[in-house]
Amino acid sequence: MTPRLVRHRSFAGVPGPVVVAVLDGVGVGARDEADAVWLARTPTLDRISRPGLRTVLRAHGTSVGLPSDDDMGNSEVGHNALGAGRVFAQGAALVASALADGSLFRGHTWQRVVARGVAGGAVHFLGLLSDGNVHSHQDHLHALLRQAAASGCKRLYVHVLLDGRDVGPQTATTYLDRLEAELAALRQGGVDARIASGGGRMKLTMDRYEADWAMVERGWRTHVLGDGPRFSSAAAAVAAARADNPAIIDQDLPGFVVSVDGAQPVARVVDGDAVVLFNFRGDR
C-alpha cells in the first residue's frame, strides 16, 4: 500500500499551480564579498523570497545525511534529499559507518579482494585523495590500507587523483604527506605499500561531465600500464608541475607514474591483482 502524505498542521497550503525549482549553488549566504547571490541583481528571487512565500532549509551536514555538520553540501546530496523527500544516509556516512562497525570488511567483495592479495596479487586503491567528503575521504583509504595489511596482503599500491576542488586549490602535498606516512608505517611491518601513479581529477580517470574517453584512456595508460612521465615520488611530480606553472591547481595536474629506480614503475595492474575504487559517489 502506498503511504499517503499528510498535510502539515502548520501549513494551510497555497492555490496552484506550484513549481519546485532546484537552483544549484543558490542559497542563503553570509552577505559578504564572497556571497555571489547576495551581490547579484536578482529581482525575481527577491520578489518570491518574501515572508509567507519562503522558508530556509539546511543543505549541509547531518541535516542532509552527511556524517557531520562540518561536511558541506553538494548537488548530488541536494538532489537525493529533495528527490526522496526525506533525509537518508549519504555515501560518505554509509562508508564511514561500514568501516567503523567492520561490516565492510565482512562483505563478500572485500573478502574477494583480500583473497587475491593473500594469494600474491597486488591490491590497488584508486580514488580522489582529499578530505572533501564529497566524492571520497582520505580516512576511508587509510582504513582500507591498514585492514588489507592486517589481513595478510603484502603488496598495496595507491593511484591518487588530486583534488583542488572540494578542498583548497593547491593542497595536494598535504594529503600526499599524510598518505606517505600511512604507507611508511605499513612498510615497517613488511608490506610493500607505495603510491604508484596519479594526476589531477580533471586530467585523467575521474570523468566529471561527459563521456570523455580521452580522459579515461589517460587514466588507463597511467594506472594500469604505468605509461607516463616518471618521478621518484608523487610529491616530486607535483613540484615539477608547479615549477612549470606556479598557478596550476591540483585538479589540473598532469598524470605521472612513480618509479623508484627511474626506469620501471612501482606497479602496473596485471591479471590476478585486485582494484578497489574508494570513491563513494556513484557518478564519479
Q: CA 262 to CA 264: how far, in whole Å? A: 6
Using an 8 Å Cβ cutoff, are 41 and 92 in contact?
Answer: no
Name the grid cell of 22: 532546484
DSSP letters of 75-97? HHHHHHHHHHTS----HHHHHHH
Q: CA 39 to CA 31: how far, in whole Å? A: 8
* DSSP label at residue 64: G
Beta strands 256-258 and 192-200, pairing class: antiparallel
SS3 letters across 218-279 = HHHHHHHCCCCCEECCHHHHHHHHHHHCCCCCHHHCCCEEECCCCCCCCCCCCCCCEEEECC
Q: Which amino acid is at 219?
A: G
- Annotated catalytic residues are 75
